[in-house]
Structure formats: structure tokens, C-alpha cells
Amino acid sequence: MSVYVGKSVPRRDTRLKATGEARYTADLALPFMLHAAVLRSPYPHARLLRVDTSRAEALPGVRAVITARDASGVKWGVFRYTRDQEFLARDRVRYIGEEIAAVAADTEEIAQEAVALIAVEYERLPAVFDPLDAIADGAPRIHDHAERNINIHVPIHVGDVDAAWDACDHVHTEMTRSEEESYFMTEPYAVLAHCDRQGTVEVWMPNASPHTKAKGLANALELPVSKVHVRHVAIGGAFGGRSDMFPGEYITALLSRKTRRPVRLVYTREENSIAVRQGHSMVVESRFGFKKDGTLHAVDVTCHMDGGAYSSTGPIATSVPFLCFEQTYRVANVRYNGYRVYTNKPIRGMIRTHGRAWACNVDMQLDLAAEALGLDPIEIRLKNALKTGDHTPTQSHIPSMASHETIRAVAEASRFREKWKRLPPWHGIGIGCVSVMSGFPMGIRGGSAAMVKFDEDGGVHLISGVVDNGQGNEGVVLQIAAEALGVPIDQIQLTASATEITPIDQGAYSQATTLVSGNAVRLACEDARRQLFEVAADVLEASAEDLELADGKVFVKGSPARAVPLAKVVRSGLLKGKSVIGHGSFGPNVDQRREWIQNPKGQLSAAFSYGSAVVEVRVDPETGFVDVLDVWASHDCGKAINPKEVEGQMDGGVAMGGHGGILLEALRWHEGANLNTNFLDYKIPLAPDMPPIHNFIVEADDPVGPFGAKEGGLSISMCTAQAYANAIAHAIGTHIREFPHTPDRVLDTIEAREGTEDEAS
């Protein structure tokens, strides 16, 4: 039935990006622009005894030097109760790379030179780099307010876990660990800020949530939100790492305010790695209990996450991996204790692949239980998978979830059961499953609104807060608008993510865009349609209720010959002083409670997507190298607004979550110093590294999503990680408990297992 939705419409920005014409922040320039550079802490933990900027200020070409003395003292944190970071360190630095001072100068070179002239006297303090060390007695205290360095504790208990073990036939405990990932966006972070004498601040930067940025900046600059204009610019990737406030944007705005000139700050690749965000490392201890028919009956998990020096958006990451689990598998008794712990390492935020150690631990438990109980991995998952109509332990109702269909799709396509018992030696096959929310409760920035207006020639302008970090969100809302209006996509222009123009929106965040922003766009278009029909009713001498809009024409239902072109309807309205302007507003029906992240309860998302992946590997027992032979990925994303884009997200999910997350990616450290901050030292999968990927979109129209659509892509990023890990375990005969599964770890695990077998024989 749909005309524009469900088609693989080519993206509008591809030509700009392919030709290099797209303008990213570092490409922007304003007249009289200055260049900024930042002085960063060389120590993981130290007191600042003296910051002397006099020599820097005296350098010709330097226009301003700022330190905490110039800053408002306002602290940042995504929740009101987690505000722990000043954007320029005031008396103490807590990680290597923390911002101490910044310079604006005529050239980048002068700015760098001036930074080197700032004299800082430090008193080094003892530092701690591991979350378990950080909560131990006698560990150095990183923040005065955080006892045992615990930043946030999420305690959840549903049912009665302690009483439940007795009813279990198989109980098993697992401990897994994962290292930190880097986001490694293609575009390093950059900011261009301009404060004018009206007190208005314009800011351009790669970002996933302009309204969050505008609010954070307004707070820090002590301005009303209306005076902070976060502007649209091309963005080279986000992966969860562009939603936070960064010191860079505050510093740049402050330098501009001080110099009354535009200021641009462009991070080096190294700075982007250290001073933007990183993924949490974590230690997960799980105890799972199953009944003999394979029913998961009790789960108890404790997770310690290394949050680095400050909160930022990190607290959200403390519960999200748990939520993904509880929305995937049914379990009557479940306890979770999540701890995000401060350490003297860079700040950790939300990342697209939440918790390798967590998610893989769960699926590992299922495989081990299946083996112990004589089931196969498919059977045990089908038995425990949540599905449409179910409730999660924390009481979210699942309005639609094609879990069984996605599991069966990959199982059948991969011939899983057939291969499971008879693959050649060192070959393995594994499956992973996960459910992901299409937006979790984000308060006033959890909804979205959109406006739509018409040109005199029938062209349409859509105004929406949607953000496109590269995943194609702009195209998604254009397709939704085209469908809702009945107007060809190429007649619709989009103005997106400029905070002074576009209404509030959560941004490309928490997988909400398609469902939340998409619904706002749909409603705005429906409102505009109604107005168009009112005008056209006069022109066509028909009743507005009898009208239809398609192919850019308004016509009487059932009498397509009684038609009038859209442009004529618009002009006819304008002649009567009636400008057609539609608006729509959508908020997901979720339980908005202030501390939901620590105590999730009630409806946490309007929709839940599902992903299943099967991976087949061959492990080289001599080198530990894992050769991925095939990936089958299956995704219930509701209706796929643009199937090619969904497949693109699925491919990207396999690359990031599976190939990168399980085989390659880990940050390396020495005493809090990040050692691999560039593309040579930190490996991400490149196109030639990737295995064949077979994508299966399972469309199960969601009752809430626009035209049935919900989250697309993240499910695959997560479940593929689990499938990779399980496939490797199948190939080598045992699970590896540390992530990523780099060749050395694979080899160590094989050797350890062979050692055990030797001993046993």
C-alpha cells in the first residue's frame, strides 16, 4: 500500500560526501576566525598548584587564554544528580588528557605554541586504573562525593532470586571481562563557535543531540537556551559518542565570548580518542539457573564498569546492558547490581555496542545450559525468548516482537542445527539474540516535534530536530513525510537539527529517531494534509473528508479526475491569506520517572526491536586467528522504512559489534596513558576485512511506530557480538572469558584447554 515507505530510496547526502563537498565542522570558516588549542593534563591524578598563563598571553598572535578562572563553575552530567565535571579543571585533574587551559590565536601553530608556554605546577596524587581496585579499601578517592569511588549503583531485584536457585536443575556462574573500546569516528571532533554582541552563541560541531548540547552549553555559559544556536553541519559518525557535552564546545564558546571573534577548535586524532569519550570496560559475574526443560528461572548478575574520571552520559550505560537482557529473555527471578566506578582514566559514555562482557556472558550461559541439559542453542533460545504481549521483569509491555521469527530466519538460512554437530575441526557456529528499545525515557527531550510548510510551487519544507550522523536519519523522515503527505520525496526539503529553528528532539540517541521523530513528522504531515484538504475542498467543490492526496495532487476519493495540483491548492490558500503550516508533536508513552536509570520500572520504551545473528568461523589453532566465513543477521525492525538503509545498519552492526568488538578493538594502557590512539595502533575492521553478511529483515509492523517502524541496526550490533563469541567457543571447544578475542587470547585459551585435556587424559 505504501508508496514511499519501504523503498530503498538513495540517500541525498551521498553525492556530497563522495565528492568531498559535504562541509564538516573542520571545513567551516568564518571571517576573522581564530584558532584554538587546549592544554591537557599529562598526569592521571594531580592537584593544580599554579597555572601561569603569562608567557602564553605575551606571545604575538595570541588573542585569549582561559583557565578555570574564566569559567562559570557550572558542572556537567547527564542527570541533575551526576553533575561532577567542570569543563576546565579548577584545582585537580583526574585523567591524562583533562582540559586545564585553552588558547585562541591567529593561527593553529601559534595556539599550539602558546599552550606549550603555559606553566603548570602539579602535585601528583596516587591514581587508580581498574574498577575493582578503585572500590577496594584504601584506594585513592577521586571525587570527594563518591565513597569507594562508586559513581552510580543500579540495584534491581525482581522475584526472589535467592529462593529460586533450589528450583533450578542447572546453575552456573561465569566471570567475563572486557576492555575499553574507542568510538573512532571518521571525523575527529571539532567546534566552531561564535558569540556575538547580542549575547547569542552559534555553535557547529559533530553532535548527535543538538538540543542536549544547547541546554548543556546554555547552562555552562549561563545563558537562556534561546541564545545558544546549535547549527546543522555534516557529521562523520557518532556511534553513541556525540550525545554528551564536551569541554571543547564550552571552551571554544568561552574563547569566542572573550575575543568577540569566531573560534575554531579541531581535535587531533589522538585528542578525539582521549578527550571525547570511550566505551566502558567491565567485569561481569553472572549466575544463571535453568530448569531441566531449559527454562531460565533465576539470574543474578553483578557488573563493575570502569567509568573513568567523570559521569557524563556514563550512568545510562550502567543499566542499559541489563535492560537489553531482560527485554530479550523471560526470567521470573532476577537480580542485578551494576556499579559504575570512577577511575583515573578518560571519561566513558554511551556506545553503540553496550557491554560485550555483559551480553556475551548471557548468551554464553544459554549455550552452556543447552549443552548441560541436552538441548541445542536454537531450542533454548526459542524457549526463553520474550515475545509480543509479554512483559519484562521490570514491567514493560512488549507491543510487538518477532523474536522467534528472527531466530528461525538465521537458524534456517545458516543451517545451524545441521552444522552444530558436524562441522570440521576448528570450525564453529554460534548464535546470539538481543532486544533493543526504540528510545528509553529521556524526559523533556524524549519527545519530538516537527513542522511542515509549503512553497507556492507545491514544494515542501520539513523542519525537524532529527540528526543524521551518517546512518541516514534524514532520509528516513523524508520518506515518512512523503508517505504521510502523498508528495514525492524529491519535492521535500529538510531543515534539521538547528536548535533555534527545529523543535525539541532527543537527537540520534537511544535508537529513538525513527519511532519518535518519525511519528512527530508523520503527525505534522497529517496536520498539513488536513489543512490542504480544507483549502482544496473549496477549489474542488467537495467535502474535505472526501479528499485524497497522492502524486502531488489533491483529488476526490474514487474520482481521480476531479483533481487539483498541490501547487494550486497552496496558491489558492495563499491568496486567501492561509499559509498551510502543519505541526506535530509526539512523546512515546513511557514511564517518566526522575531516577529511572537507577531503578527502572514500568514502561521503558514504546517499542522493542529484535535481532538474531548466526556466525560461522574457522580458527587457526597455530596463530589464533579467527576467519569469519559467513554471518547471517536477522532483524525485526518493524517496518523497514528504507530496507537498504536498514541493511546498511545491519552490515555496520556486524562490523562494529561483531568483527571489531569481538576480534579487534581494545584500548591499551600504561598508568592511565592511552597507548593506541590512532588508526595504526587501534584496529577497526575495514571493508576488505569483512565476511559475507546475509541480512534478513523480518518485518513485524509495530503498532506505535510510524508506518510500523521501530529501531534499526543496534540489535544486530549487539547480537552479532554474542554470535561471534559463541562461534569461536564452538570452534575451540571452550569459551574465552576476555573481550576482545584477539589471536593471543584465542591461542592462550586453546593452549589452556589442551593443557587441561592433557592432564585429564
Touching a copy of itself, residues 127-166 (CB under 8 A): none
198 binds a copy of itself (CB under 8 A): yes
222 binds a copy of itself (CB under 8 A): no
346 binds a copy of itself (CB under 8 A): no
Our CB check for a copy of itself shows the closer of 439 and 658 to be 439
Those residues with Cβ within 8 angstroms of residue 251's Cβ, 6 or more apart along the chain or in another chain: 36, 38, 66, 87, 88, 99, 102, 265
21 binds a copy of itself (CB under 8 A): yes
23 binds a copy of itself (CB under 8 A): yes
Which of 447, 624, 648, 706 is in the footprint of a copy of itself by CB under 8 A? 447
Those residues with Cβ within 8 angstroms of residue 121's Cβ, 6 or more apart along the chain or in another chain: 48, 49, 50, 51
What is the C-alpha separation between 244 and 276, in angstroms, rounded? 9
Our CB check for a copy of itself shows the closer of 39 and 580 to be 580
Write down the residue that cell numbers 538547528 correspond to.
498
481 binds a copy of itself (CB under 8 A): no
Least separation in angstroms between residue 30's CB and a copy of itself is 8
Q: Can you say how many angstroms the Cα of residue 456 is from the centroid of all Cα atoms in its chain?
A: 39
Our CB check for a copy of itself shows the closer of 501 and 629 to be 501
Which of 73, 443, 560, 755 is in the footprint of a copy of itself by CB under 8 A? 443
Our CB check for a copy of itself shows the closer of 24 and 682 to be 24
660 contacts 684 by C-beta, under 8 angstroms: yes
Which of 48, 190, 218, 637 is in the footprint of a copy of itself by CB under 8 A? 218
Those residues with Cβ within 8 angstroms of residue 490's Cβ, 6 or more apart along the chain or in another chain: none
In angstroms, the first-to-last Cα distance of the chain is 65
What is the C-alpha separation between 277 and 181, in angstroms, rounded? 10
How many CA atoms are closer than 13 Å to the CA of 480, on its beta-carbon side?
A: 36
What is the C-alpha separation between 526 and 198, in angstroms, rounded? 38
Our CB check for a copy of itself shows the closer of 69 and 578 to be 578
226 binds a copy of itself (CB under 8 A): yes
* Interface size with a copy of itself, residues (CB under 8 A): 63
Binding mask 560-589 for a copy of itself (x = CB under 8 A): -----------x--xxxxxx-x-x-xxxxx
Q: Which residue, 194, 217, 207, is CA-closest to 237? A: 207
Stretch that binds a copy of itself, among 144-152, 196-204, 540-548, 743-751 (CB under 8 A): 196-204
Our CB check for a copy of itself shows the closer of 37 and 570 to be 570
DSSP state letter for 394: T
Q: What number of residues does the chain have?
A: 761
Which of 308, 346, 503, 705 is in the footprint of a copy of itself by CB under 8 A? 503
What is the C-alpha separation between 446 and 587, in angstroms, rounded? 7
455 binds a copy of itself (CB under 8 A): yes
Which of 3, 132, 225, 423 is in the footprint of a copy of itself by CB under 8 A? 225
Binding mask 255-274 for a copy of itself (x = CB under 8 A): -----x--------------
215 binds a copy of itself (CB under 8 A): yes
**Which three-class secondary structure state does DSSP give residue 501?**
coil
Our CB check for a copy of itself shows the closer of 237 and 587 to be 587
3 binds a copy of itself (CB under 8 A): no
**Which set of grid coordinates corresponds to residue 670?**
600504561
19 binds a copy of itself (CB under 8 A): yes
The amino acid sitting at 553 is K
538 binds a copy of itself (CB under 8 A): no
445 binds a copy of itself (CB under 8 A): yes
C-alpha distances (whole Å) from 356 to each of 119, 185, 460, 522 are: 42, 19, 44, 36
Our CB check for a copy of itself shows the closer of 520 and 728 to be 520
Q: What is the strand order of the sheet 693-697 is part of?
A: 427-437, 608-619, 626-636, 693-697
Our CB check for a copy of itself shows the closer of 418 and 457 to be 457
**Which set of grid coordinates corresponds to residue 378?**
536454537
Report helix angle 518-540 to 473-485, nearest 10.
30
The amino acid sitting at 609 is S
Our CB check for a copy of itself shows the closer of 462 and 728 to be 462
Q: What are the φ/ψ torsions at residue 570 (nearest 5 degrees)?
A: -60, -45
Residue 726 belongs to what H/E stretch? helix 714-732
461 binds a copy of itself (CB under 8 A): yes
How would you write 181-233 as a 3-class SS string?
CECCCCCCCEEEEEECCCCCEEEECCCCCHHHHHHHHHHHHCCCHHHEEECCC
Which of 142, 299, 407, 449 is in the footprint of a copy of itself by CB under 8 A? 449
Which of 178, 272, 281, 448 is in the footprint of a copy of itself by CB under 8 A? 448
Least separation in angstroms between residue 18's CB and a copy of itself is 9
Q: Can you say how many angstroms the Cα of residue 254 is from the centroid of all Cα atoms in its chain?
A: 28
The amino acid sitting at 132 is L
169 binds a copy of itself (CB under 8 A): no
The binding site for a copy of itself (CB under 8 A) comprises 12-13, 15-16, 19, 21, 23, 27-31, 196-198, 200, 215, 218, 224-227, 260, 443-449, 451, 453, 455-457, 459-461, 463, 491-493, 495, 500-501, 503-504, 520, 571, 574-579, 581, 583, 585-589, 592
